[in-house]
Structure 1
Amino acid sequence: MDFSIKTHEAKTSIATIKTGCITVGVFEGKKLSPQAQALDKSGEITAALKSGDISGKPGSTLLLRKVTGVTAERVLLIGLGQEAEITGKVISVAALCIAKVSAALGSNDIVIALPFSHIKEHGQHSNEWAIRTTIQAIRENSYVFDTLKSKKEAAYNGVNKFIFLATPAQTAAAKEAVVHAVALANGMDLTKDLGNLPGNVCTPTYLANTAKKLAKEFKLGVEILDRKQLEALKMGSFLSVANGGVNGGEPPKFIIMKHMGGKAKDAPVVLVGKGITFDSGGISLKGGAGMDEMKYDMGGAASVFGTFRTIAELKLKLNVIGVVPATENMPSGTATKPGDIITSMSGLTIEVLNTDAEGRLVLCDALTYVERFKPAAVVDIATLTGACVTSLGHHNSGLFTRHDSAHDHLANELLSAGKASGDTAWRMPIEDSYQEQLKSNFADMANIGGPAGGSITAACFLERYTKKYTWAHLDIAGTAWKSGAAKGATGRPVPLLTNFLIQRANAK
């Protein structure tokens, strides 16, 4: 797919643009957008509204052919709701309409001439935001995962060239928006591909090899630590999860990627992604129903890979380090047992009351390891708890940080990045009172705190290992993938993370 910007003088009628299709908006109350008015020389668009062929409600569409006085072969009308209320949500719906119609349209190109500059909630950046949103919707709609099918899905046969109109003053920013949107879509596709691959393909070794390929393509730094190196580092907590695969299972990999786009002395932002490539629950075995979806338990790792793919393509001027502790969590004669006590890299001991609370066990050693980078901030991303799904459903990722000025600032950065990208998060509490639930009679702490506030106590567990830097935790258990007929990875929270890092780079 090709996305481009066409500079168009406001005084020149869009009716003269030669294209297979041009898209314009119409409103409820039988009103035309300025762009639709420019194509309505013969009154055919007005007649279509008056006849009720299109209501103007968000999501309504009507395709017209050979409109008199219009050079374009087709005119696609898209409903935008009330004229005074063109919100970001309305544009998102319109973008999805363009994506669906263009996929079945017998045209090679389409010109998108919607009133992006009239969006109410995004101010001066509305045009660029709308372009990014539209490209993301088109790429999302065209995504197909058929890598492992013997008979591939039918090849995409719709529109291949998407052209956005911009005034001379808008052109530079609009072109930048296209570059950003395409890079983000490429990163999200990688995240979805990794998530959708089964656990017998996307193993810790597969993730390590993916890191090496990214490093080669984009000149990133990469380092892969194996079991012996992890033992030398005394990562007893991480290795306790990997113990189930000692005899014939998949070996663990500790993956470090470096995108050093900033100044040499700038402290890096570190992203830590949970990489459980399959989670059986270990000795605390999960129920069989839906266990296949535990291939998605490396969603945090996949989002780190996707984010790195995006920022590397953008050549982002920021130092970013990605850390992925990758392993399976399997039951076997060598697996960690409930009641076992392990020693983490930090020296703190942990009583493992439930081996299915393994994500925090791999993350705590990774969070200790990243101290050596003297980071500006650390964000860990994990499909950590079912409790977060119960709390927030599938709309918002859970965001956890300490409560002080530095952490409040980081939380606000992430929340703002999520809102701007449509990949939203909701801040949850971390308080000392919840820490009481992690008490153990036999070790420094237990790895679970009971059913009450499960996502909070999991975050409190991780918080104990992050005292030396500013840190936030994203629980993406409800947002990393979809179940049911639409089963598949979503690519979240790559948009949030990318926007967060771009904001950091711009601030510098």
Structure 2
Amino acid sequence: MDFQLKTLSIAQAANEKADVLIVLLAAGTTTSKDALSVLVAQARTAGDLPDKAGKLLALYRAAGVAAPRVLLAPLGDGGPAAVRTAVLAAVNAAKGSNPKRMAIVFAGAVDAAGLGSAVLAAADASYVYTETKSKPEPRSLRQLSLGVPDAAALREAFDQATATVAGIELAKEWGNRPGNHCTPTMLAQAAKELAELPNVKCEVLGPKEVAKLGMGAFAAVAQGSAEPLRFIVLRYHGAPKDQAPVVLVGKGITFDTGGVSLKPAAEMDEMKFDMCGAASVLGVFRALGDIQPAINVVGLVPTCENMNDGRAIKPGDVVTSMSGQTIEVLNTDAEGRLILCDALTYAKRFAPSAVIDIATLTGACVVALGGVRSGLFSGDDALAEALEAAGEASQDRCWRMPLDEDYAEGLKSNFADVANVAGRAGGAVTAAKFLQRFASDYPWAHLDIAGTAWKSGAAKGSTGRPVGLLLNYLLAQSRKGGAAAKSSGKTQKAGTSRSRK
């Protein structure tokens, strides 16, 4: 979609050529005498326009307005969350007329957070998956103009928001593809294509390289599938080489049967979403290539299928991880932690400033937090607080969960250094405790996105989360790095921004 940012007042918006005009209205009275302001004042006087985000008043062929359809959308308290609610409601209501050009104008002042919220909400509401449909209904909305009082002042925020949309939509696209259209090899090819972006490089390792590295846990999960595993290494260099990178590790199980510990048939189709952690890493790199922030980032994606054949791992098998620790596999459906643990060991070679793994890891986290917040686990308070703040700022929220050592008791094994499961109680926490064993050499956080990565039911599909959270965190870190370099007299590569035109 073509996003455009314009300087528009509510009076000027009346002349904007669009199929639908959405006017976002802050609380308060309007005294201007232009056509739209008069309509707003009349509607409020009549009680037809309550000041609550999500409420709408539709107008058709309003006098003095160029757009044939107008939606008046109150913003409630005017915060980013209210902006998102208002824009989602308005764009969803407008979709029925199949508009090709839409304009959204802020009738009053707007800050960077509010503008970004509007861009992301409009993109979210208009996204359409078409890849595997024989007669797809393409996204009808081709152009979205956003009118603000001062476009120049919000250009950087706009560019970051449109880049974030590109990343989220890439994550959605790969998350939504069925397993036969998203194999480990196909996912690796998608990662290679990201290397066409500025400052992004990609390397893909296959079974021989993984075996040579000693990634026995990762290889064990993949051995029951006819599809060969891939280990994807993405690098974004936006800062000096001596600046320690942030490493993102994304779980990439492109389909999960549960293995010998077979899942129930009902809703097993949704296990194509078990690679949404990997998809979020790809989405982040897509956005980084556009934004070009002053930071170094590494993306690690272990990707394979968890399938059954005569070679598949069995409950009770013992495998040796890259770290040298042996693992008793008590449940083959707890495979995500097996591929992640080897990637976490591999991450050490980058001497990272922080490592964040992202995984659709446990049903227990869905029970605990539902689909509202991702589960956040970390023994590092500074890292956890930064991620929580990034979640709040991006409206891609997480909730910190405990990591008490007592939870690790159930992972003890008589036959290996550690078991891969510890029973049902506290399952999200014990899974995180398992991963923590392999991440002791650097600041580490784990995001369990099993409840937030996709939706079920009539709205079934990938959400693209937590691309927004991760990008917000990385951009905040890049700003801190730039400030530190400036205060020490050092120089860093300046970030640049480009809007998606």
Match for residue 174 of structure 2 among 162, 184, 194:
194
- Provide the residue aligned with 1:163 in structure 2: 146
Find 1:480's aligned residue among 442, 450, 453.
453
Distance 1:428-1:468 versus aligned 2 partners, 3 A rule: same
Pairing 1:147–2:116 present: no
Which residue is 1:80 aligned to? Answer: 75
Give 1:110 shift: 2.0
Query: 2:49 is matched by which residue type in structure 1?
Result: I
Output one character per residue of 1:321-378: Cα deviation in whole Å (capped at 9) or x when no partner: 0000011111111011111111111111111111111111000111001111100100
Q: Which runs of 5 or more residues in structure 2 are unaligned? A: 482-501
Residue 97 (structure 1) shift: 3.0
Alpha-carbon distance in structure 2 between the residues aligned to 1:5 and 1:139: 14
Q: 1:486 to 1:417 in 2, by over 3 A?
A: same
Query: What's the C-alpha RMSD, in Å, of the aligned pairs?
Result: 2.3
Residue 49 of structure 1 corresponds to 44
The structure, 1 or 2, with the larger RCO (C-alpha pairs under 8 Å, 6+ apart) is 2
Cα shift readout 1:222-246 (whole Å, capped 9, x = no counterpart)? 111111111111111111101112x
- Opposite residue 323 of structure 1, the aligned amino acid is L
Checking the alignment, whether the CA contact within 8 Å between 2:330 and 2:420 is kept in structure 1 is yes
Is 1:446–2:429 an aligned residue pair? no
Is 1:288 matched up with 2:268? Answer: no
Aligned pair in 2 of structure 1 residues 320, 68: CA closer, same or farther (>3 Å)?
same
Give the deviation of 1:23 after TM superposition. 3.9
Alignment counterpart, residue 94 of structure 1, candidates 67, 74, 86: 86
Amino acid paired to 1:377: A
Q: Deviations over 1:377-416 (max 9, x none)?
A: 00000000000001111100000011xxxx1110011000
Instruction: Give the counterpart letter for 1:381 in structure 2.
Output: I
Name 1:329's counterpart in structure 2.
306
SS in 2 for 1:474: strand
Residues 125-156 of structure 1 deviation map (CA, whole Å, 9 limit, x = unaligned): xx111111111111111111121111111x44
Q: How far apart are the structure 2 equivalents of 1:333 and 1:310? A: 41
Q: Is the 8 A contact 1:27 1:57 kept in 2?
A: no
**Matched residues in 1 for 2:86 and 2:303: separation?**
39
Q: Distance in 2 between matches of 1:287 and 1:360?
A: 20
When structure 1 is superposed on structure 2, of 138-147 and 419-428 the one drifting more is 138-147
Task: Name the residue aligned to 1:122.
Answer: none
2:275 and 2:12 mapped to 1: Cα distance? 48
2:317 to 340, 345, 366: 340
Q: Taking structure 2 as the reference length, what is the TM-score of the superposition? A: 0.90
Q: Which runs of 4+ in 1 moved over 6 A?
A: none
Matched length: 479
The alignment partner of 1:241 has SS state of helix
- Match for residue 232 of structure 2 among 251, 255, 278: 255
Q: Is contact 1:271-1:378 (8 Å) kept?
A: yes
Q: Does 1:132 align with 2:116?
A: yes
Q: Which amino acid aligns with 1:96?
A: L
Could you report, residue by residue, the CA deviation over 1:287-341 in whole angstroms, capped at 9, with x for unpaired residues?
A: 1111111111111101000011011111122100000001111111101111111
- Label 1:445 to 1:58 Cα distance change in 2 as closer, same or farther (>3 A): same
Distance in 2, matches of 1:490 and 1:190, equals: 11
Note the 1:408-427 alignment, pairs <5 A.
Answer: 408-427=381-400
Equivalences for 1:273-312 in 2 at 5 Å? 273-312=250-289
Which runs of 5 or more structure 1 residues have no equivalent in the other structure? 118-126
Shift, 1:476, TM fit: 0.3
Contact 1:205 1:253 in 2 (8 A): yes
Distance 1:234 1:75, change over 3 A: closer
C-alpha change, 1:458 and 1:157, in structure 2 (3 Å) is: closer
Letter in structure 2 aligned against 1:424: R
Could you say what secondary structure the match of 2:231 adopts? Answer: strand
Letter in 1 for 2:118: T
d(CA) in 2 for partners of 1:334 and 1:72? Answer: 63
Task: Give the match for residue 121 of structure 1.
Answer: none
* Residues 1:460 and 2:433 are matched in the alignment: yes
Write the distance in 1 (CA, Å) between the matches of 2:190 and 2:61.
Answer: 49
Q: Where do residues 293-442 of structure 1 align in structure 2 (5 Å cutoff)?
A: 293-402=270-379, 407-442=380-415
- Measured at CA, do residues 192 and 156 of structure 1 come closer, stay the same or move farther in structure 2, by a change above 3 Å? closer
Q: Is the 8 A contact 2:320 2:326 kept in 1?
A: yes
Most deviating of 314-323 and 61-70: 61-70
Report if aligned partners of 2:26, 2:78 keep a CA contact under 8 Å in 1: no
Change (3 A) 1:326 1:17: same
Q: Secondary structure at the match of 1:259?
A: strand
Q: Taking structure 1 as reference, are residues 15 and 380 closer, same or farther at Cα in structure 2, changes over 3 Å only?
A: closer
Picking from 108, 113, 121, the partner of 1:115 is 108
> 1:123 matched to which residue of 2?
none
TM-score using structure 1 length: 0.89
For residues 243-274 of structure 1, what are the alpha-carbon distances to aligned partners after superposition, in whole Å with 9 as ceiling and x for unaligned?
Answer: 112xxx00011110101111111011000001
In percent, how many aligned pairs have the same letter? 48
Task: List per-residue Cα deviations over 1:181-240 (Å, max 9, x = no partner).
Answer: 111111111101111111112011011111111113445211111111111111111111
Q: Deviations over 1:429-462 (max 9, x none)?
A: 1111111111001111110011111000100000
CA distance in 2, matches of 1:340, 1:500: 39
| Equivalent residue in structure 2 for 1:39, among 34, 50, 72 | 34
Q: 1:7 to 1:365 in 2, by over 3 A?
A: same
